[in-house]
Amino acid sequence: MTAIASENSEVTVLLVDDNPQNLKVLYETLKDKGYRLLIANEGAKALDLAHRHRPEVILLDIMMPEMDGYEVCERLKNDPVTADCAVVFLSALDDLASKVKGFSLGGADYISKPFQSQEVIARVDTHAKVIRLERELQARNRELVSDQARILNSISEGIYGLDENGVIEFANQAAAMIVNCPVEDLIGKNFFDLHFATASDSDACLPVMGTCRQGVAEHQRDIQLKRVDGAAFPAEYRATPKLDNDELHGAVVVFRDITVELNNERALDEARTLVQEQRDQLAHTSRLTTMGEMAAGFAHEVNQPLTAIANYARVSGRVMAKEDPDLSLLHETMEKIEAQSHRASEIIRRIRRFMKKPATGKEILAVPMLLEDTRQFAEVDMRNNEGGIEVVFEDDLPDVVADPVQVQQVALNFIRNALEATRAAGSSAPVEVTARRCGQKCVRVQVRDHGVGVAEDAEDKLFHPFFTTKEDGMGIGLATCRSLIQAQGGEIGYERPEGAGACFYFTLPVAGAGAGADACAAE
């Protein structure tokens, strides 16, 4: 006999007994208790019903022909579909050995025949509630596991869960994609043997080993890992100890393939190097252009001492041609020749220093000396523009760290522009070059003139490439100046002064004050 005796959506109870009378009694006992009752009078049919309906409770007679209750119970527990059912044995066998055997096979309870109705009801009710709660809990656990799996599989970084020996207990889909191996094949493999060629020789210093064995968190970048096919790839990983009540149980490793990232970084570095080379070349070209503009003035500057030397040489010759030469006059003349030679040499030295390409490294510079050197270099422009230059600096001005050639180029550019603007305005006021400390980390150099000034709509574009306010300008001078000062870690800018004229400034990092690419940014 196989039957569904009553319907109830909450709890299903399967009654199994080869004795029809017993089945009837059980049915009568439970029929009005709100259960969905299934009935079977032999083991095979009981297994079939149990597999199809997954009853919460099975009241199972032990002594049955062909297949006894023990075998039915054993097969129920071996079937994943029915393994969680609560099997309550019904038997007249009341000895201890029979009960122990029943429990050893997975039985949940034991009711002796002849059974009492109230006892059957109470035990079925108890086991039904337990099984329902267990199934709800299992469903909830499966839901949580599923949620966790979805979350972990949605992460683009590979994730491993390792035991203390490095055996992979968990891997997400990203990890499988990175190492070219299905998740199910990764589970059980040893992380160190899988990813490190030297793991079989020595595992003492392998990445993640310290996390697995000592619980030390790790983070490393550009580590070479192996894929399953043996190909290596650069990776970044974070390893976190897996702890349970302070007891170490391995590590969680989050890693990613950074091949593309490293390639991009190398390309970016190459691009930066190329840009810097182009900037240096542009700055050098700008200096050559400046020298070309100043060539006539410098030719005049050098020609003066050379002419004087020639004249003094002729005087010396005439003195020496006399029968009684005036040695005192000859000595004085020779000293003048030497002085004019030094003057010519100094002019040429300044030209050569300005013309040379900047050194690869920065130097510690005294700003007053650098500005005075620049002022002397600008004397040609000063005379051509019939102007003046006044250099003022604070006492105890700290040294700065910068490339002297590049800084001098910027200062000279500002001063020449200021002299030209002053002449265009017909002013006789000298160009003011000042240097003062600006905060704790910077020295500010400022060039202020009383010339024609800068139009308001041009202020924001002054340092843009190819923007110029001069009719014959190319618009690369101030743009080059900005590039040069930024390379020193300083800032450059323009301020509209009170009254007429213009004020350009730049800052340089103080030596020993944490100079860097943005040393003056916070000043």
List the beta bridge partners of residue 446. 434, 505
Task: Reply yes or no on whether the pLDDT at 523 is more than 60.
Answer: no
pLDDT digits (tens, 9 = 90+) for 286-342: 777 777 777 777 777 788 788 889 988 998 998 898 888 888 989 998 999 998 898
Kindly report which listed range (141-145, 474-478, 498-502, 505-509) carries the lowest average pLDDT score: 474-478
Strands 158-162 and 36-40: unpaired
Which of the pair, 493 or 517, is modelled with greater confidence? 493
Of the ranges 198-212, 423-437, 449-463, 467-481, which is most confident?
A: 423-437
CA distance 265 to 393: 43
Strand 12-16 to strand 86-91: parallel, antiparallel, or no bridges (unpaired)?
A: unpaired
**Predicted confidence band at 516 (pLDDT cuts at 50, 70, 90)?**
low
Q: What share of the chain has pLDDT > 90, as a percent?
A: 43
In this structure, of 13-27, 46-60, 277-291, 495-509, the range with the lowest mean pLDDT score is 277-291
Given the structure tokens 């038997």, which residue do they identify? 91
Residue 518 pLDDT greater than 60, yes or no: no
From 244-248, 309-313, 348-352, the region with the lowest mean pLDDT? 348-352
What pLDDT band is residue 9 in, cutting at 50, 70 and 90?
low
pLDDT at 522 over 60: no
Pairing mode of beta strands 247-257, 232-244: antiparallel
Q: What's residue 235's pLDDT?
A: 95
**pLDDT value for 292:** 75
pLDDT at 7 over 60: no
Judged on CB neighbours under 10 Å (0-12, 13-18, 19+), 33 is middle
In the prediction, which pLDDT does 385 show? 86
Q: What is the pLDDT of residue 359?
A: 61
**What residue type is assigned to position 71 of the chain?**
E
Predicted local confidence at residue 8, as pLDDT:
47
Percentage of the chain lying above the pLDDT 70 cut: 93
Confidence tier at 358 by pLDDT (50, 70, 90) = low
Q: With contact defined as beta carbons under 8 Å apart, do 289 and 282 qualify?
A: no
Predicted confidence at residue 514, as pLDDT, reads 64
Of the pLDDT bands very low, low, confident and very high (cuts 50, 70, 90), residue 49 is very high
Q: Which of 90, 105, 27, 103 is closest to 59 using CA atoms?
A: 90
Q: Does 383 score more than 60 pLDDT? A: yes
Res. 351 pLDDT band, cuts 50 70 90: confident
Residue 184's pLDDT is 92
Q: What is the mean pLDDT of residues 360-378?
A: 86
Which of these, 58, 45, 64, 43, lies nearest to 110 by C-alpha position? 58
Query: What would the mean pLDDT of 186-209 be, rounded to a whole number?
Result: 84
- What pLDDT shows up at residue 520? 64
pLDDT of residue 5: 47
Quick check: 2 pLDDT over 70? no
pLDDT digits (tens, 9 = 90+) for 87-109: 999 888 777 888 888 889 999 99
Residues 150-185 have pLDDT tens digits of 888 888 999 999 999 999 999 999 999 999 999 999
* Confidence band of 83 (pLDDT split at 50, 70, 90): very high
Answer yes or no: is pLDDT of 474 > 90: no
Q: What's the pLDDT score for residue 400?
A: 94
Cα 438–444–448 angle (5° rounding)?
Answer: 130
Longest pairwise C-alpha distance within the chain? 165
Amino acid at 253: V
pTM of the model: 0.52
Distance between CA atoms of residues 481 and 494, nearest Å: 12
**What b/e sequence results for 175-190 when a residue is b if at least 16 CB atoms lie within 10 Å of its CB, and e otherwise?**
bbebbebebeebeebb
Point out the least confidently predicted range of 57-66, 217-226, 347-356, 425-434: 347-356
DSSP 493: E
Query: Which residues make beta-bridge pairs with 365?
Result: 400
